[in-house]
């Protein structure tokens, strides 16, 4: 063991709080190192010197003062249970404020536009309901395609009536 290692464990050694292996190594080092041995002896003497310092006694009024300060502490009241904790109170107030704000908030334009679109969709609901009929309307397939379509001329009665009507 080197001097630095001994220094690290010297206090514990002097306190008799090292394990037997460390103790043996430290003692072996102290027998061959006068500097560490001197330091260890001076620590022992220092501790003896420090014992000279007498302690002080608390004043006679010490206990009474502690009791007085304890008595001055605010006592829990019976209604304390009903008083909400600050955090809970703050959260509840915040939630209430948010609810009021949301209720009082005016309806925005997006909502009204949405309602208009809904109305149009409802109006065409009949068409949508007949969608299958329209897609499977076989009669439409029988119609001539392109330029083969002939426009029927008006019937003579129609012409006569038109003439009669016009006169």
Q: How does DSSP assign 98-137, residue by residue?
A: HHHHHHHSPPPHHHHHHHHHHHHHHHTHHHHHTHHHHHT-
Of residues 76 and 146, the one with the C-beta less far from another protein: 76
Between residue 145 and residue 164, which ones bind another protein under the rule CB under 8 A?
A: none
**Binding region for another protein (CB under 8 A) out of 26-34, 68-76, 113-121, 130-138:** 68-76
CA distance 72 to 65: 10
**Binding region for another protein (CB under 8 A) out of 7-15, 26-34, 108-116, 141-149:** 7-15
| 47 counts as binding another protein under rule CB under 8 A | yes
Selected from 65, 159, 160, 161, the binder of another protein by CB under 8 A is 65
Q: How many CA atoms lie within 13 A of 54 on its CB side?
A: 2
CB atoms within 10 A of CB 22: 16
Q: Which residues bind another protein (CB under 8 A)?
A: 7-12, 17, 39, 42-59, 62-63, 65-66, 69-70, 73
């Amino acid at each position: 063991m080197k001097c630095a290692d001994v220094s690290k464990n010297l206090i514990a050694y002097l306190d008799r709080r090292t394990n037997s292996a460390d103790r043996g190594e430290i003692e072996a080092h102290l027998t061959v190192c006068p500097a560490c041995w001197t330091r260890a002896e001076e620590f022992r003497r220092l501790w003896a010197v420090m014992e000279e310092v007498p302690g002080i006694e608390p004043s006679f009024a010490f206990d009474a003062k502690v009791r007085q300060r304890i008595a001055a502490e605010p006592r829990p009241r019976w209604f304390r249970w009903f008083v909400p904790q600050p955090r809970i109170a703050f959260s509840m107030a915040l939630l209430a404020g948010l609810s009021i704000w949301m209720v009082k908030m005016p309806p925005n334009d997006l909502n009204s536009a949405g309602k208009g679109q809904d109305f149009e969709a409802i109006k065409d609901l009949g068409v949508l309901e007949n969608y299958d009929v329209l897609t499977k309307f076989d009669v439409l397939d029988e119609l001539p395609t392109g330029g083969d379509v002939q426009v029927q001329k008006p019937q003579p009665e129609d012409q006569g009536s038109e003439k009669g009507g016009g006169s």
